[in-house]
A and B are shown apart, each in its own frame.
Chain A
């Protein structure tokens, strides 16, 4: 039984990374007052570009690690472009954010699939990046497997949680982001450039969403397909609400959701007489239940979330 629990917990960290990265990015978006439902599309593009570079370099075979790094960097840069593009639509042109986000999602998923067919063809895999056993620490029973035998990006993603907290709550830029997401008019009157700050937050959010997609294609599935993201971008958006726009709580949400995923897999594999359809639904039901119980706690919600800012119009 201990082996089963160890195995279950050891999967939580690597399998939660894509959700964690995407939801941290979405947190910056929403803290600045913009919710980006197009996260799924940005992740799809990130996954495609992230896989494309090592694939072209090695034609599916082994490649130097630098190509994987290039894949991640390219995915992040593409995410920045998508974030800025979303900013043009929602910040500059003040289009409804929900509709624009759905459009971006369709655009990203469709474009990634089309480019994939053109440049790669059918379903192909890449060697990707492998797990690293941290010397000594990985040998510790239970703890070693759970915490110290994962790929390098998983560690970096979790280091990003305190970094995101520090940026958001301890830096002047983080203060600006929170200000434009809470009361943009007051921020504007204090000399903060609301438009520019929202663009910056969207660029950062896009970069993290791109990285999340690349993590799926380079580090987790090690392949790309049109359906690779399969709704994880929307789950990331939900996790931001789940985590009350706070990096640590978002991390907790990502881990809890992933734990529920692995738990239901183990429940099925153990042959417990339980309808698998319900087991598959379990993580999603969990998110809904927790959201339902915590929705009254809106004190941390950015009050200007979803509201375009126009300094010429007094509201």
Chain B
């Protein structure tokens, strides 16, 4: 028994030492910036996690003069993420992005423990400690654009909105969508339902099916679960979809049903984070994402544009995007004023 205990300790101790780290970042001194990403889903989920991964890889590609190392950890629940975050610190990573508000407590705890390492999490508009960045997509802008399309293209005057939860950027997107629909079609009925989950694809497809059955002919949804709703929309011969991630345009059903999609351009955020860290700012700021600072991108489905986006509609969209760009403080879409019970 004693031998077994000793053997177990010999095997376990090195891992414990590795997992705990030294308490000091062993940052590379050759100018390399090391970025680590922690996500709860996968880098190819065609939604929330993929958009950040794509943003980081795009930012690296757009900064060829900088030496950047990048690593990621997928399927990390908040309770498990502390271990991998400490490993990244021990390996000398300069910036650890925990992509999701669910990581807030972990990030704040780690930030206090490792003051020389920069952390970032979002979405959140809070101003964190001196070594914590937050980022907040002002996604009422993308919702508003998609709402204009839905409100214009609906023939039944009923549109559906499949939400994950009513908080964070999802709440902003959904309410922006409502405002967009109402701006062009005040009489449209907007069916809003939440699944209570970011990743329950089956439930989102059930919600979409319910809304289709109740007459909705243009639907939208956000987060990775939206793929389930898009899949359900593809079953309808007439209904169409407006997306909240450009990756949805590349799916088979997206090619057939997704009129247009907007997406978060995290590359802009990542580039800003890298520049700030190089200049010695490790945190204490919230980086907004909007059309004005390139935080959003928007594109049409080339196969569907001619049929579903009239020149007038395109002009309206362009005009709205320009007005968003001219109003970086985001006063045009008062998303907080939307009350679903009045729809």
Give chain A's interface residues, CB within 8 Å of chain B. Answer: 3-4, 7-8, 10-11, 15, 60-61, 113, 117, 121-125, 130, 216, 220-223, 225-228, 230, 232, 261-262, 265-266, 268-273, 276-277, 280-281
Contact = CB atoms under 8 A, between A and B. Distances in A.
A227 B200 contact: yes
B224 A123 contact: yes
Nearest to B209: A11
B175 interface: no
B194 interface: yes
Which 3 pairs show the lowest CB-CB distances between chains A and B?
A: A122-B44, A7-B213, A280-B196
Given A271-B192, A273-B341, A223 B203 contact: no
Given A225-B199, A269-B192, 11 more contacts: A7-B213, A8-B210, A10-B213, A117-B42, A122-B45, A123-B46, A125-B251, A221-B228, A261-B203, A265-B206, A266-B214
B166 interface: yes
A276 B44 contact: no
Contacts of B207: 265, 269
Given A125-B231, A269-B192, A11 B44 contact: no
Contacts of B191: 269-271
A272 B340 CA distance: 8
B202 A221 contact: yes
A7 B210 contact: yes
Contact of A222 (B192, B215, B224, B231): B231
B272 to A, nearest CB: 27
A7 B44 contact: no
A221 B230 CA distance: 10
Contacts of A3: 214-215
Nearest to B339: A273
Contacts of B214: 3-4, 7, 266, 269
B200 A230 contact: yes
A250 B231 CA distance: 29
A271 B213 contact: no
Interface in B196-246: 196-197, 199-203, 205-207, 209-211, 213-215, 224, 227-228, 231, 234-235
B67 interface: no
B253 interface: yes
B231 A269 contact: no
Nearest to B216: A269
Given A123-B44, A123-B224, A221 B213 contact: no
Contacts of B253: 125
17 contacts: A7-B210, A11-B210, A123-B224, A216-B202, A225-B201, A226-B42, A230-B197, A230-B202, A230-B203, A262-B206, A262-B210, A268-B192, A268-B193, A269-B193, A269-B211, A271-B341, A280-B195
B202 A228 contact: yes
Interface string B107-147: 00000000000000000000000000000000000000000
Contacts of B228: 221, 223
Contacts of A11: 206, 209-210, 213
Contact of A123 (B45, B206, B343): B45
Nearest to B253: A125
B252 interface: yes
B322 to A, nearest CB: 32
B251 to A, nearest CB: 7
Given A268-B192, A271-B192, A271-B342, A223 B210 contact: no
Contacts of B50: 122
Contact of A268 (B46, B194, B224, B235): B194
B227 A125 contact: yes
Nearest to B194: A276
Nearest to A229: B202
Nearest to A269: B191
B256 to A, nearest CB: 11
A223 B234 CA distance: 12
B252 A61 contact: yes
B325 to A, nearest CB: 32
B176 interface: no
B201 A221 contact: yes
Nearest to B230: A125
B319 to A, nearest CB: 30
A265 B252 contact: no
A222 B229 CA distance: 11
B82 interface: no
A123 B44 CA distance: 7
B203 A276 contact: no
Contact of B227 (A117, A123, A261, A269): A123
A138 B145 CA distance: 40
Contact of A276 (B193, B200, B227): B193
A216, A261, A272, A276 pick with most chain B CB within 10 angstroms:
A276
